[in-house]
A = this chain, B = another copy of it.
Amino acid sequence: MIIIMDQHASRENIDDVQKKLSELGFRTHPIFGEVKTVIGAIGDKRHLNTQEIYTLPGVENIVPIMKPYKLAGRELKQVPTVINVGDVQIGGNKVVVMAGPCAIENEKSYIDTAKKVKEAGAEILRGGAFKPRTSPYDFQGLEEDGLKIMAEARDITGLKLVTEVVDTRDVDLVASYADIIQIGARNMQNFRLLKEVGMHKKPVLLKRGLSAKIEEWLMAAEYIISEGNEDVILCERGIRTFETATRNTIDLSAIPVVKELSHLPIIVDPSHATGTWKYVSALSKGAIATGADGLIIEVHSDPNCALCDGPQSLRPSKFSQIMSELSHVANAVERTI
């Protein structure tokens, strides 16, 4: 790292910083500029508490040189990670589509939707049994009963299951049903929950927080991997900005950025990002062309009756049509779907 000293820092201040750095195991290299002095410190920053330096007299700023994440980054692992969910691969050449309703509402409608998304070409079935809702008065999910319905849908269709966990106390339960455990956007920095899913062997779908920088998102992945679970799938789902025309602002530039910084696969959720089914088709194509490894799309056999997120759900017939269009786009970037 580089320590930038204030222009008014004394020679003594500079010496003190160097001394402290030496104590902490760094080799130091001061550069005396015309106005300011900077000090290069060589060593591994990640075990250092930089505040010990930051608050020394005369220190203006500290510039880290190494990335704060290690296991999630490209610096140690160059090869892209491919995650196996049974016979489905995420992060390989084939673009993976996850689809299904936002919440599981009842057995009949869920199984019906599951069959239809399977038929249209989806490989993974989504559905929420534990729902984080902005209002305490909104439907909060069927909990284990929902998980049972999901398992039944898996038995019938052969689709793999992805579903969210929202409480550390439920991780064992959810892991016993799910093929992929989802961490929602609001829990991206629920570090205890991250650690808990890190101790299981199930792949984790880690949604980006509404106001999470890509670096923080990768640090959240680092939490999971550092507990021993390397199978993290990143999911861009829109960030919060000043624009209100869409529910959130989908950040497709996150795809090439993540590909450059990390070896982890990244998928996109155009349904939650936009909040409107009308934009899902266009942005699904855009996501694949930009390089996404997969999509997670809301599909509901009757969006008018959806207990949550109806407006962003596609009907199965529309979803089926989009899937065939997506295959052309995937082919155009030398992938399949």
- Complex Cα–Cα for A125 and B153 (A): 53
Count this chain's copies in the assembly. Answer: 4
| A79: B residues at CB distance < 8 A | none
Q: Is A47 an interface residue when CB atoms closer than 8 A count as contact?
A: yes
Whether the pair A214, B243 counts as a contact (CB closer than 8 A) is yes
Does A88 make an interface contact (CB < 8 A)? no
Beta-carbon contact of A51 and B306 below 8 Å: yes
Is A176 part of the contact surface with B, judged by Cβ < 8 Å?
A: no
Does A163 belong to the interface (CB within 8 Å)?
A: no
Q: Does A77 contact B (CB under 8 A)?
A: no
- List CB contacts (< 8 Å) of A274-308 with chain B: 274, 278-279, 282-283, 285-291, 303-308
Asked if residues A169 and B168 are in contact (CB atoms below 8 Å), the reply is yes
- A286:B166 contact, CB within 8 angstroms: no
A44-88 residues with Cβ-Cβ distance < 8 A to B are 44, 46-47, 49, 51-52, 54-56, 63, 65-66, 68, 75
Contact A253 B250 (CB under 8 A): yes
> Which of the residues B65, B211, B245 comes within 8 Å of A215, measured between beta carbons?
B245
Given contacts A168-B169, A192-B166, A289-B289, contact A257 B246 (CB under 8 A): yes
Closest to A303 in B: B55
- Contact (Cβ within 8 A) A132 B49: no
Q: How many chain A residues have a CB neighbour from B under 8 Å?
A: 106
Q: Taking CB as reference atom, which chain B residue is nearest A42?
A: B33
A249→B239 contact, CB < 8 A: yes
Q: How far is the CB of A288 from the nearest CB of chain B, in Å?
A: 7
Task: Knowing A169-B168, A192-B166, A239-B249 are in contact, say whether A49-B282 is a contact too (CB < 8 A).
Answer: no
Contact with B along A1-42 (1 / 0, CB 8 A): 010100100000000000000000000010111111010101
In the complex the two chains form, what is the Cα distance from A210 to B243 in whole Å?
11
Least CB distance, A181 to chain B, in whole angstroms: 16
Is A189's CB under 8 angstroms from B132's CB? yes
Please determine whether B51 and A42 come into contact, CB atoms closer than 8 angstroms. no
Contact for A137 among B47, B56, B168, B306, CB less than 8 A: B47
Give the B-binding residues of A (Cβ under 8 A): 2, 4, 7, 29, 31-36, 38, 40, 42-44, 46-47, 49, 51-52, 54-56, 63, 65-66, 68, 75, 132-139, 166-169, 186-187, 189-192, 195, 209-211, 213-216, 219, 222-223, 226, 239-246, 249-257, 259-260, 273-274, 278-279, 282-283, 285-291, 303-311, 313, 325, 328-329, 331-333
